[in-house]
Amino acid sequence: MGEVQSTERCSRNSRLTPSLDLEGRLRGYAAAVGIVLCFVGAIITNIRAGAYSSIAFPLLHMVPVIVAVGLGAAA
């Protein structure tokens, strides 16, 4: 049987806790900003095309991303 790692050893190893890694968080925020900008572009395109009935679809996809970023920043 293998040796069980202690919690002290696990806490020192940043590879075991990627959610606490600053670089990982920055990548997540950059990805979320990119997705939000994509949906803002879709909304602007719908407005310029006069397709006002389809503006709700990009908004419905954008809201969970904004909520996730807000919850991630609060954590």
* Domain annotation covers residue 1: no
Report how many domains make up the chain: 1
Global confidence as pTM = 0.64
- Radius of gyration (Cα) for the chain, nearest Å? 19
Domain annotation covers residue 56: yes
pLDDT digits (tens, 9 = 90+) for 13-70: 555 555 557 787 888 889 989 999 999 999 999 999 999 999 999 999 999 998 988 8
Within-domain flag for 5: no
In a domain, 11, yes or no: no
pLDDT band at 74 (very low <50, low <70, confident <90, very high): confident
Residue 5 has pLDDT above 70, yes or no: no
Residue 53 lies in domain: 21-74
Q: How far apart are CA 38 and CA 32, in angstroms?
A: 10
Is the pLDDT at 12 greater than 60? The verdict is: no
Distance of CA 49 to the CA centre of its chain: 29
Kindly indicate the confidence band of residue 2, based on its pLDDT and cuts at 50, 70 and 90. low
Q: In terms of Cα–Cα distance, which of 45, 64, 65, 66 is closest to 55?
A: 45
